[in-house]
Amino acid sequence: MPPDQATDAHAHRVWTMNDDSIQAFILQHISEQDFKDVCDLQSSCAMFAQLHERYEKLGSHTQILLMEKAIRTEFMPGTCLAQTWDELDTLMRKIKAMGPLDYDQLQIACAIKGLGKHYENLQSTLQSIMNQPGFTLRDIARCIIEEDNLIRNREEQGILPNSTAFASQTTGKPRTKTTCLHCKRVGHFAEFCVQPGGKMAGKSLDKAKAAYCASRGLSRTVSTPAAQAASVHVATIHTQTPTTGSNSGVAPFFSMGSTTT
């Protein structure tokens, strides 16, 4: 608090000048967005408090993102070297200002970031619970292992991975390609593999398709002999998005192209 102007006008004036200088220093060294958020505050103490509260809550996840950005920083011809150095220095200062690095939290942050490309729903679920009291590295390991077990169990049963332990796949988003655990080819499950040693070894492709449809409670049109002759051992499975109001299952159809090894 500044000195009382009525009782000590000189001390009040000195305090005000010093505070104005600190405010100017802060505003010169923060981002444009931070500038907009704190420029109307009346004291350097209020500015610092708001900035401190904002950045201390970012946690290890933000630290690792900033570290990744810092590691990817490159000094490029045509760009002032001093400018790039200043950008790198600013990133590192932000990382340090967030506090010492907790390696368990770093591992959690790495795992959550790694889920983003193919498992967005699981990532979102973990992000929503990681701030709960008592959440630890063991909890995230348990969640990931449970999710993996469910995916494998559904694959062994010949069920498409349209839902998981924590969240269902969003309609319209591309799914991870199914890979047979037996022959390692893409497009079918081990339960319906007709390759030697597979559970349907020696069966025709059409019978494998019919078995798949039956396991899903779906009906399908039997292919013609000509189509059977053109088929190969492994089918690539495609699903159609059900229309609104449909009360039937999602009927798959199969393309008879070359298999992918």
pLDDT of residue 21: 94
Please name the residue that has the structure tokens 């907009």. Answer: 36
- Decide: residue 198, CB within 10 A, 0-12 exposed, 13-18 middle, 19+ buried: buried
Alpha-carbon distance of 57 to 32, in angstroms, equals 20
The pLDDT profile of the chain, 261 residues, written as one tens digit per residue, is 888 888 988 998 999 999 999 999 999 988 888 898 899 998 999 999 888 877 766 667 788 888 888 988 999 999 999 999 999 999 898 888 777 878 888 888 888 888 888 888 888 888 888 778 888 889 889 889 988 888 888 888 877 554 444 444 444 444 555 667 767 777 777 777 888 877 788 888 888 788 877 776 655 444 444 444 444 444 444 444 444 444 444 334 343 343 444
Output Rg (C-alpha) for the chain, integer angstroms.
30
C-alpha distances out from residue 232 to 13, 170, 188, 246, Å: 88, 31, 12, 32
- DSSP character at residue 23: H
User: Residue 100 in 3-state DSSP?
Assistant: coil
Alpha-carbon distance of 250 to 261, in angstroms, equals 27
String of b and e for 7-35 (b: at least 16 CB within 10 Å)? eeeeeeeeeeeebeeebeebeeebeeebe
User: Residue 238 in 3-state DSSP?
Assistant: strand
pLDDT of residue 185: 74
Alpha-carbon distance of 236 to 253, in angstroms, equals 9
Alpha-carbon distance of 201 to 192, in angstroms, equals 9
pLDDT of residue 155: 82
Query: Which residues lie across from 145 on neighbouring strands?
Result: none
Lookup: tokens for 202: 């020696």
Query: Which residues lie across from 168 on neighbouring strands?
Result: 163
Alpha-carbon distance of 167 to 120, in angstroms, equals 9
> What type of residue sits at position 131?
N
Say whether pTM exceeds 0.85.
Answer: no
The whole-angstrom distance between residue 44's C-alpha and the CA centroid of its chain comes to 38
Alpha-carbon distance of 15 to 17, in angstroms, equals 6
pLDDT of residue 248: 42
pLDDT of residue 130: 79
Other CB atoms within 10 Å distance of the CB of residue 153: 10
Alpha-carbon distance of 12 to 155, in angstroms, equals 74
